[in-house]
């Protein structure tokens, strides 16, 4: 019991740190990229949310922002980059193309990146306004603090399964 309380408190502390230190990997493929640059510019001061440092190596990032249209051909590359992110990794679908395929109703465009990787926050708009992006980041911060993102839930489930297996073996 005591160990569980200590573990929970440590996790809360780690999540508090995570929510104020996103290291973003921008996976930019299309016109939404202009809006990403705008958010990263001084006017919107994304540093207030601890998310101002883009990293161009997935191994140094824990937040993937998929910015723009993803075609079927790009799908495997997106998955490969996602698999290299530091754990626990978070994903934001930036704009309607990344979220749903947007107005591209054709065979070559993926109808939403959640067909390929798990998504924690969807930001609507074509393109989204910078204020919407900041709103999306704040929503992600809330989910991270509460441990409700896909990877945090998966990690907890795996830890529970491990403990159950150990108890069965004991
Ligand atoms: S959502 Fe609109 S602005 Fe963004 S990539 Fe798609 S078409 Fe371009």
Cβ atoms of 137 and 22 closer than 8 Å: yes
- Render pLDDT for 92-128 as a digit per residue (tens, 0 to 9): 999 999 999 999 989 999 999 999 999 999 999 999 9
Atom of ligand 1 nearest to the CA of 95: 1
Nearest CA to ligand 1 atom 1: 126
**Mean per-residue pLDDT of the chain:** 92
CA distances for 32 relative to 102, 108, 130, 132, 164, angstroms: 12, 19, 11, 13, 45
Quote the CA–CA distance of 53 and 160 in Å, as a whole number: 34
- Render pLDDT for 36-49 as a digit per residue (tens, 0 to 9): 999 988 899 899 99
pLDDT band at 18 (very low <50, low <70, confident <90, very high): very high
Out of 3.40.50.12280, 3.40.710.10, 3.40.50.970, 1.10.10.410, which CATH number does the structure's domain 2-169 have?
3.40.50.12280
pTM of the model as a whole:
0.92
Ligand 1 binding pocket includes 67 (Cβ within 6 Å): no
Ligand 1 binding pocket includes 34 (Cβ within 6 Å): no
């Amino acid at each position: 019991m005591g160990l569980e309380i200590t573990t929970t408190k440590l996790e809360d502390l780690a999540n508090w740190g995570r929510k104020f230190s996103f290291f973003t990997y921008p996976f930019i493929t299309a016109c939404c990229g202009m809006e990403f640059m705008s958010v990263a510019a001084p006017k919107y001061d994304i540093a207030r949310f601890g998310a101002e440092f883009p990293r161009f190596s997935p191994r140094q990032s824990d937040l993937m922002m998929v910015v723009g249209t993803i075609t079927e051909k790009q799908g495997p590359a997106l998955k490969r980059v996602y698999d290299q992110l530091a754990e626990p990794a978070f994903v934001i679908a930036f704009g309607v193309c990344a979220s749903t395929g947007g107005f591209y109703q054709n065979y070559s465009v993926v109808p939403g990146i959640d067909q390929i990787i798990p998504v924690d926050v969807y930001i609507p708009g074509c393109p989204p306004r910078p204020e919407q992006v900041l709103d999306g980041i704040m929503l992600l911060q809330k989910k991270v603090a509460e441990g409700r993102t896909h990877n945090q839930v998966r990690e907890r489930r795996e830890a529970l399964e491990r403990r159950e297996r150990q108890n069965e073996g004991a």
